[in-house]
């Protein structure tokens, strides 16, 4: 497995994302005007949901800490930190750092990116095996689901990081509010991180890895979906039926996973 330095940095990520995510999620109305860039309360709550989801993923991953069990969850965390920090750098002229919450966001992403760099360096030095002996083996149908998921989320990612404002779906067509290009790119790389981390499941063998990743990511699904229901008044399904896709994307993944956890467990190993 990777070094204890990497492990404690992942725990630090869990702590930072938690103390950042709670106020963004609970106090989105108050913090939206003072966030790092121009966002609405719903966007602020959603970003808080990302952070809370990341906090759980980082915590449970650091707690279990077997490379063959947690490596894809780490790939997501590393990808998220690096890519979101790149977005901040690209849009640095739009950043506002007058409020502590904006500084906390910047510091959290910087620590996340540092965790990624140290983790990747550890991997090159140690080269831990991703092979997992024992447990359920992935079946062809699991790989089909994985490939479908990667293609769908990957499409959302590429769309979010490449199109300009005014393109289909960017003017309230799916997300109910008009995003700035800054926010759109942030959403795009969030989905890109999810897609990259899921890629190994197309050729992977162990079901334990995917179960851990799904369990570690489940808070993201639940918390972000709840935020959407809280802000249901913003969705006009008659005018913008694409908004149903926003809910469907999370519910279609989240509900079946409950039955999967019941049948196969959450990827925990002795």
CB 237 within 8 Å of CB 172 = no
Q: In whole angstroms, give the CA distance from residue 257 to residue 115.
A: 29
User: Which two three-digit tokens encode residue 113?
Assistant: 């990116």
pLDDT, position 173: 87
CA R_g for the chain: 18
pTM of the model: 0.96
pLDDT, position 131: 75
Nearest to 182 by CA among 157, 154, 160, 159: 160
Please, where are the H alpha helices in 91-180?
100-126, 140-162
Torsion-angle region of 2 (φ positive above 0: left; ψ -120 to 50: alpha; else: beta): beta
Nearest to 67 by CA among 15, 112, 11, 132: 132
Q: Which residues contact 161 (CB under 8 A, 6 or more apart)?
A: 185, 188, 189, 192
pLDDT, position 41: 98
pLDDT, position 133: 58
Domain boundaries, the chain: 4-264
Residue 136 burial class via C-beta count within 10 angstroms: exposed 0-12, middle 13-18, buried 19 and up: middle
List b or e across 89-121, with b for residues whose CB sees 16 or more CB atoms inside 10 angstroms.
Answer: eebeeeeeeeeebbebbeebbebbbbbbebbbe
Kindly list the averaged pLDDT for each block of 10 residues, start to end, along the chain of length 270. 95 98 98 98 98 98 95 98 98 97 98 98 92 75 92 95 88 91 97 97 89 97 98 95 94 95 89
């Amino acid at each position: 497995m990777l070094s204890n330095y990497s492990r404690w940095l992942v725990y630090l990520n869990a702590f930072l994302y938690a103390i950042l995510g709670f106020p963004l999620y609970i106090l989105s109305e108050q913090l939206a005007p003072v966030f790092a860039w121009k966002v609405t309360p719903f966007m602020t709550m959603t970003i808080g949901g990302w952070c809370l989801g990341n906090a759980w993923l980082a915590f449970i991953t650091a707690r279990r800490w077997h490379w063959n069990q947690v490596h894809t969850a780490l790939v997501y965390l590393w990808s998220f930190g690096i890519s979101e920090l790149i977005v901040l750098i690209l849009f640095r002229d739009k950043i506002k750092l007058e409020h502590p919450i904006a500084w906390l966001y910047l510091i959290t992403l910087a620590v996340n990116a540092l965790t990624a760099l140290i983790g990747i360096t550890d991997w090159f030095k140690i080269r831990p095996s991703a092979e997992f002996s024992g447990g359920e083996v992935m079946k062809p149908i699991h790989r089909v689901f994985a490939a479908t998921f990667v293609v769908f989320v990957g499409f959302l990612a590429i769309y979010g990081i490449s199109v300009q404002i005014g393109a289909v779906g960017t003017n309230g067509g799916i997300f109910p509010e008009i995003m700035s290009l800054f926010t759109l790119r942030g959403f795009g790389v969030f989905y890109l991180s999810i897609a990259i981390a899921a890629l190994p499941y197309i050729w992977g063998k162990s079901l334990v890895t995917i179960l851990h990743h799904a369990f570690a990511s489940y808070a993201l699904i639940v918390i972000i979906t709840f935020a959407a229901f809280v802000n249901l008044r913003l969705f006009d399904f008659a005018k913008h039926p694409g908004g149903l896709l926003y809910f469907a994307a999370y519910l279609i993944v989240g509900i079946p996973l409950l039955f999967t956890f019941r049948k196969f467990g959450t990827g925990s190993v002795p």
